[in-house]
Structure 1
Amino acid sequence: MVSRRVGQARRRLEAEGARVLALPPGDDLFYLLGYTPHPDERPCYLFLTQEEALFLVPELNAAEAAAHVPFPTITYTDAEGPGGALREAHRRLGAPPVVAVGDTMRADALLLLQELWPQALFIPGARVMAPLRTVKSAEEIAALRRAAATADAAVEAVFAAVRPGVREVELKRVAEDALYDAGAQEVPFATIGVGANSAFPHHTTSTAAAKAGEPILVDLGSRVDGYMSDITRMAFLGSPPARYLEIHALVEEAVCAALETIRPGVPIREVDLAARQVIERAGYGGRFTHRTGHGIGISVHEAPSITHTNERPLEVGMTFSVEPGIYLPGEFGVRLEEIVVVTAQGPQILSRLPRDLRVL
């Protein structure tokens, strides 16, 4: 797999007119190697050209990396710093006119490369890597499905733990424990929003307590075998009023409209527009403040972006979220999220949890 993916990256590198691809620790590196070292302030790079591959790594990570990185390696100690190792990389790689750098590279690590190759034009590494990662293999989809199962279990655990007075942070801990118990190897996020906090699309979980007569938004994600889950579901503590039920039903209608649009060859923009038009017709267009979805894989947010400006056609194997929402500041918000795989027959939803409002 490593040789195949490295070969694909080299072909993309050539197509973009770049001489060197420089990747830091992170998701792009994991995609190529099935491994990424711990990211910190110490510079670390995989350098890839048409002829060479070179791994520059701090000495404290070198032993672990040796078992995963099948390329020549240059190391440096904390006392030495990376200067000598970078000069050796320059000696081996020469002076490239164009360098593609990984999008998540730290600014200080990028500045070192700009000092190393002052004559080079630096371009986003996503131009090389994103096209490789957008369409998933059967093995990748299987990993996403395993991750989705852990997310389903965690949502159920959170709903079972909701009672008047329980704090968001306590429910977050329930979610994290449930994700690990279900097989997650990492829990990048677990967001709980009670009451008016559910109206913040990216709420930071707080010490706010659940109250009767209020909704609870649960948005969480786990990593299994390198691949992510992401799900959002809603519950209500007590009997929901008509206004809440109206908004929940609108968001569900928007999800269904988007799902009905998904099939190979359809422009991505149509998925966003299908959901957005439902909400706009009901008069809440200004309260749907984000895109309909994002790609998902090794990263929780990756290509494709499900916006009304994306003209790219859907392809079999694309995986992304469908998550319209309506947010009413000071009152509540409703978002429902599915992760889907594009198949020849249409969308395949990875979660097995219904989107029905859970009344607690």
Structure 2
Amino acid sequence: MSSFPVTNARLAALRTRMAETGTDLVALGPSSHMAWLSGVHPHGDERPVMLLVAQDYAGFLMPALNAAAARKDTDLPFHPWSDDQGPEAALRALLEACGVTAPNLSVVLDETMRTDFALRLLDALDSPRRRFTEDTVGLLRAAKDDSEYRALKAAHLANDKAVKAAFAALEEGVTEAEIVELIKSEYAAMGAALEFCSVCFGESGAFPHHTPGAAPLKRDMAVLIDTGCRLDGYPSDMTRCGYFGQPEDGYAEVFSVVEQAVQAALAAAKPGVRACDIDKAARDVITAAGYGDRFLHRTGHGLGVDIHEPPYIAANSDVVLKEGNVFSIEPGIYLDGKFGIRLEEIVILREDGAEIFSEMPRDMVHVG
């Protein structure tokens, strides 16, 4: 039994889920799945590394040169291999230890694993039936525990401070890239690292994934800031919008529509509701206002170890949401050549609805 308590609890939950789904083996590559389950995040290159989990055994196929670095994070057994030997014998020994040498076993593969790793494993098994992690590791990851909640909350409070500082620093002539650097430095002062940052001035906000550049801020220009940091292994994500100077005609109206869409999605977000119904709640508001064709993306994405992970809040998703799910609500309206407005919250589902991580108001920020 592992002496690492989080690993121990998550392995037990995974094995329960494996029994419920008739799964004989779960195989994870050097990915966020492996990090979530075991705390191990080894260097990933062409050398095969896997964590295999069966009902009575779990162990790593581990390149020998990475073993010492990985050992500090786990006491699960290693099956090491060296460059001059190759991984074949170590993989056979690991599979034998897992007790999975019979034919036609049910195997769950990490969908983010390198193809050559996955094929090596499948070739070593006898006619396996394979699927991906949606109903095992992915399902368990989607329901955040208290430690994950605390980490996500701390990351979002750090994000709030950085975004407030960024808006306060707006002045004529400052560039998008300079505001990104300011946000990065604010994160660093709080012990966090930049995960991503999009600062959009004026018509650049009409591109949902704009790359910040040397565009200078001018008076009476819209500002959109979508940014996130990573703190103690977990990320934040938030979008706020406002104006430097006076809003142009129509801006306040569009802002109000997007805010109403956020509120509608928040009201719809409850355990037992389908993801597509939350998307519809936001989309219906924007469509009714005449901007349906200017809402260019899904309403949200899950967030956890990864900045984007299931569940996805999209029109084509029938996933039924559960207590503990964490995801974004971020409707937007994008007007080419003018501006874009997106308001984003990350929420966790509680028994009675959605709890927002950020404590920064969504009000239109007015500077200058």
TM-score (norm: length of structure 1): 0.92
Contact 1:103–1:126 (CA under 8 A) maintained in structure 2: no
Contact 2:207–2:340 under 8 Å retained in 1: yes
Deviation at 1:148, TM superposition (A): 0.5
Change (3 A) 1:79 1:207: farther
Shift of 1:348: 1.6
Q: Is the 8 A contact 2:299 2:313 kept in 1?
A: yes
Question: Quick one: which of 152, 156, 179 aligns to 2:160?
Answer: 152
1:120 aligned to 2:128?
yes
> Which stretch has the larger CA shift, 76-85 or 25-34?
76-85
Contact in 2 for aligned 1:56/1:73 (Cα 8 Å) = yes
**Greater displacement, 273-282 / 20-29:** 20-29
Q: How many Å apart are 1:5 and its aligned residue?
A: 0.9
CA distance in 2, matches of 1:345, 1:100: 34
Given that residues 23 and 105 in structure 1 are in contact (C-alpha distance below 8 angstroms), is that contact kept between their aligned partners in structure 2? yes
Instruction: Summarize deviations over 1:25-46 as a string: whole Å, max 9, x none.
Output: 2221122123322333332110
Aligned mate of 1:271, from 261, 266, 278: 278
Q: Paired residue for 1:39?
A: 44
Letter in 1 for 2:275: I
- What is the CA–CA distance in structure 1 between the aligned matches of 2:149 and 2:73, rounded to whole Å? 23
State the alpha-carbon separation in 2 of the partners of residues 251 and 204 from structure 1: 22
| Cα shift at 1:79 | 4.6
Match of 1:26 in 2: 31
1:230 to 232, 237, 241: 237
Instruction: Give the 5 Å matches for 1:245-284.
Output: 245-284=252-291
One-letter code of the match for 1:239? Q
Q: Deviations over 1:268-287 (max 9, x none)?
A: 33322111111000111111
Measure, in 2, the Cα distance between the counterparts of 1:88 and 1:264. Answer: 44
Residues 274 and 155 from structure 1, CA distance in 2 versus in 1: closer, same or farther, beyond 3 angstroms? same
User: SS where residue 119 of structure 2 aligns?
Assistant: helix
The answer on whether the counterparts of 1:135 and 1:317 sit within 8 Å (CA) in structure 2 is yes
1:36-115 equivalences under 5 Å are 36-93=41-98, 94-95=100-101, 97-115=105-123
1:152-190 deviation digits (Å, cap 9, x = unpaired) = 111112212322332222221211221121232x33211
Determine helix, strand or coil for the equivalent of 1:220.
Answer: strand
The one-letter code sitting in structure 2 at the alignment partner of 1:317 is G
| In the alignment, structure 1 residue 180 sits paired with structure 2 residue 163 | no
Give the secondary structure class of the aligned counterpart of 1:352: coil
Q: Distance in 2 between matches of 1:313 and 1:91?
A: 38
Match for residue 207 of structure 1 among 189, 214, 228: 214
Taking a change above 3 Å as real, the CA distance of residues 261 and 110 of structure 1, as seen in their structure-2 partners, is same
Tell me, what secondary structure is at the counterpart of 1:242? coil
Matched letter for residue 160 of structure 1: A
Residues 1:6 and 1:277: Cα distance change in structure 2 (over 3 Å): same
Q: Is the 1:153–1:182 Cα contact (8 Å) retained in structure 2?
A: no
Alpha-carbon distance between aligned partners in 1 of 2:85 and 2:175, rounded to the nearest angstrom: 48
Letter paired with 2:159: A
Mind listing any 5+ residue stretches in structure 1 that lack a counterpart?
Answer: none
Instruction: Provide closer, same or farther for how the CA distance between residues 348 and 91 of structure 1 changes in structure 2, counting only shifts above 3 A.
Output: closer
Q: Does 2:349 correspond to 1:342? A: yes
Given residue 149 of structure 1, which amino acid in structure 2 is its aligned partner?
A: L
Partner SS for 1:169: helix
Give the Cα–Cα distance (whole angstroms) in 2 for the partners of residues 315 and 127 of structure 1: 14
RMSD after superposition: 2.1
CA change 1:192–1:87 in 2 (3 A) is same
**Alignment deviations for residues 323-358 of structure 1 (CA, whole Å, 9 cap, x no partner):** 100112332211000111222332221111111111
Distance in 2, Cα, partners of 1:75 & 1:197: 51
Distance in 2 of aligned mates of 1:110 and 1:285 = 42
Distance 2:82 2:169 in 1: 49
Specify the alignment match of 1:15 in structure 2: 20
SS at match of 2:136: helix
Structure 1 residue 16 displacement after superposition = 3.2
What's the CA shift string for 1:212-243, capped at 9, x where partnerless?
Answer: 33222211112222222110111322211122
Higher mean alpha-carbon deviation, 234-243 vs 88-97, is at 88-97
Task: Give the C-alpha shift of residue 137 in structure 1.
Answer: 1.8
Which moved further from structure 2: 250-259 or 119-128? 119-128
SS across alignment from 2:194: strand
| Distance of 2:65 and 2:121 partners within structure 1 | 21
Structure 2 gaps of 5+ residues are 1-5
Whether contact under 8 Å (2:241, 2:341) holds in the other structure is yes
Q: Answer whether contact 2:166 2:182 (CA < 8 A) is retained.
A: yes
Q: 1:137 and 1:328 mapped to 2: Cα distance?
A: 39
Residue identity opposite 1:328 in structure 2: L
User: In structure 2, how many angstroms separate the alpha carbons of the residues matched to 1:6 and 1:321?
Assistant: 28
Moved more, 169-178 or 14-23: 14-23
Give the conservation status (yes or no) of the 8 Å contact 2:39–2:74: no
Helix, strand or coil at the partner of 2:135: helix
1:22: how far off?
0.9
